[in-house]
Structure 1
C-alpha cells in the first residue's frame, strides 16, 4: 500500500468531517477538544488544533460562548433552493460567524461556506476580507439609532448612548477589535455615533479639545471593559473552566495560606479568614460598567465645574 503524503492534520480533518457528514456528530454536538483529538489520533496538540481549524474554516463547526466548539447547524436542503446571494446576506453571515467564533474566524471561505457558494462568488459584493470586516462593523453599529432627546440633561443623554453602546459590544464583543483607539475608522455609523455623543456632551460647555477628549474616553471605557467578554469566552472554550472556577483554583490556595496573607494585609482585610468578604469576590462586568460610567461622569461633571469657575461666562 502506497504511503500517503497527506499531512496528518488534513487526514484528521477529513475523518472528523466524515463523522459530521454521517451524523456520528450531529448539529449541536460538542466536537472533541484539541486534547481529545491529539490523544485519539496520537498527534501533537498543534496538529490537532490545526485540524479543528480546518473544520471551522469550512463552516462545519462553530464555537459558541460558554458552550465550546459544536457541530454547525445543517444548511437548508438543496430541494428548497439556495437563498439569493446578496451583499446583505454576505454581511449577515459574516456577523453570525464573528458572534459565534470571533473575528479571526471571519474569512471569505468561511462566509462562502455558510452561504453555500464558492468563495469567488463573494467578490461580486465585497473587495476583500478587510472591506467585509468594515461592513459588518458598520452594520452592527448602524443597527442602533442612538437617538436621544436633545432637550434632556446632558448626563441622561450620555448615559442612554453609553448603555446602548455597552449592550452592542456585549452582544458583539469582537467590535472592540475592529479599530484601535489611535486609528478610528471613518465608518458612517461610527461617525454618526460619535456625533450623537458630542451633541450630548455639548451642554457641559467644555473647551473644544477637552470636549472631544471626553467623547473619546467614554467610548474607550466602554469598549475596553466589554472586550473582556470575548476574552472570557475564548478562555472558556480553550479550557472548559469558568472564570469563577479558574479564580478559585488560582486564589483559594494563596488566600488559605496564613503566611502569604500576612504579606498582603489589605487583601487579608477583605479575603482573610476573618476578612470583610470571606466568601470571595464574583466579578460582574455589567455592574462594573454601571459603576465605571457613574464614577467617570461624576469626574467629568466636576471637571466642567472647575473650568466654569476658572473662566466664568461674562
Structure 2
C-alpha cells in the first residue's frame, strides 16, 4: 500500500497529465494540502519535495509551487568534482528562499548540487550546523553600517533596518534565529554590538545595555515572523492583506455593533473606517515606539541623583 504522500503526489501527477494543472500553473501549497487532505504539514511538504525532486514541479519565488521543471538559476553553482562550503550554504539558502525552511534537507541540497548526500557533511556538518551557517551568511549580507552614526538613535535605527531588510530578503530567517538562546555567529554579533555602542554613552549597566539590544532585536524579529506567514497566506487565498481585510469588513462591522466596541466606534466603525495594513509601515511605526521608550529610559540614567 502506498504511503499517503505517494498517493497525493500521484494524484497531482494525474491532474498534470490530464491537463487540469498546466505548465506554469500553481499546484496546491502545503497548507492547501493539509486542509484538503487532512494530512500533517510534514506529509504535505514531502509531497511537494517528492514532485520537485522528480522535476514535475518547481518553486517560483513570490508565486508558489508551479508545474514544470525548475530552470537553473543564473549564476548557480555548477559542480565539476570540486565543492565548496560557500556553494553548499548558498544553495541551501536558495532552497529555503524558494520553498521554505521545512523543505530543506541535506538530500535536497545534494540533489540541487548534483552530489551525494554524504559529500556535504565534510563541508557543513549536519543539517543543524548548515542552518546556523545559512543564518550567518544571510545576515552577513546585511551588516550594520560601518560608519559611526550621528546619534545613538540613528545607530539603532540603521541596524534595525538592516535586520528588517535581511528578513525581507529571506522569509525563513526570522524563524531560524533565537532570542532566548541567541546563536553566537560572527555576522550576527555586530547587530547586537551596534545597540550596545549606541547606549554606551549613557552609562547604562551591563544588564540594561543587553536588555536594550535584545528588546530591539526581538522587536524586529517579532514583526518579521509575519512576513513568511503573510506570503504563504497570499499564495493560499490569492488575496493580499488589504483584500482579505475588505473581505472581512462586513463581519467586523457586525461585531463592532453587537459587542459595542467603543474603540472601533471612535475610529469610524462601522461605516467609514479604512485601514491599509502594511508590514513595512508597521515595522517603522513600532520601531519608533520602541526607541521612544528607550529614549526615556536612557535619559533617566543621565538624570542627577536626588
TM-score when normalising by structure 1: 0.80
How far did 1:238 drift?
Answer: 3.2
Using the alignment, how far apart are the partners of 2:284 and 2:30 within structure 1? 38
CA 20–224 in structure 1, closer or farther in 2 if over 3 Å, else same: same
Contact in 1 for aligned 2:152/2:198 (Cα 8 Å): yes
1:265 corresponds in structure 2 to 262
Which of structures 1 and 2 has the bigger CA Rg? 1
Equivalent position SS for 1:219:
helix
Residues 217-228 of structure 1 mapped to structure 2, 5 A cutoff:
217-228=215-226
2:66 corresponds in structure 1 to 70
1:190 aligned onto 2:183: no
2:280 corresponds in structure 1 to 286
Contact in 2 for aligned 1:149/1:157 (Cα 8 Å): no
How far did 1:207 drift?
Answer: 2.2
CA 59–189 in structure 1, closer or farther in 2 if over 3 Å, else same: farther
Equivalent position SS for 1:304:
helix
Using the alignment, how far apart are the partners of 2:256 and 2:139 within structure 1? 50
How far did 1:229 drift?
Answer: 0.5
CA 208–242 in structure 1, closer or farther in 2 if over 3 Å, else same: same
How far did 1:8 drift?
Answer: 5.4
1:141 corresponds in structure 2 to 139
Specify which of 2, 8, 13 is matched with residue 6 of structure 1: 2
**Gaps in structure 1 of 5+ consecutive residues:** none
Output one character per residue of 1:34-80: Cα deviation in whole Å (capped at 9) or x when no partner.
79989xxxx9453993533422566754445652322452348xxxx
1:308 corresponds in structure 2 to 302
Contact in 1 for aligned 2:174/2:221 (Cα 8 Å): yes
TM-score when normalising by structure 2: 0.82
Contact in 2 for aligned 1:137/1:178 (Cα 8 Å): yes
How far did 1:188 drift?
Answer: 1.5
Using the alignment, how far apart are the partners of 1:158 and 1:86 within structure 2? 35
1:254 aligned onto 2:232: no
1:52 aligned onto 2:48: yes
CA 68–264 in structure 1, closer or farther in 2 if over 3 Å, else same: same
Using the alignment, how far apart are the partners of 1:151 and 1:254 within structure 2? 44
Equivalent position SS for 1:125:
helix
Using the alignment, how far apart are the partners of 1:36 and 1:150 within structure 2? 48
How far did 1:136 drift?
Answer: 0.5
CA 63–156 in structure 1, closer or farther in 2 if over 3 Å, else same: same
Contact in 2 for aligned 1:173/1:230 (Cα 8 Å): yes
Using the alignment, how far apart are the partners of 1:151 and 1:179 within structure 2? 26
The more displaced of 147-156 and 187-196 is: 147-156
Contact in 2 for aligned 1:256/1:272 (Cα 8 Å): no
RMSD, matched Cα: 3.4
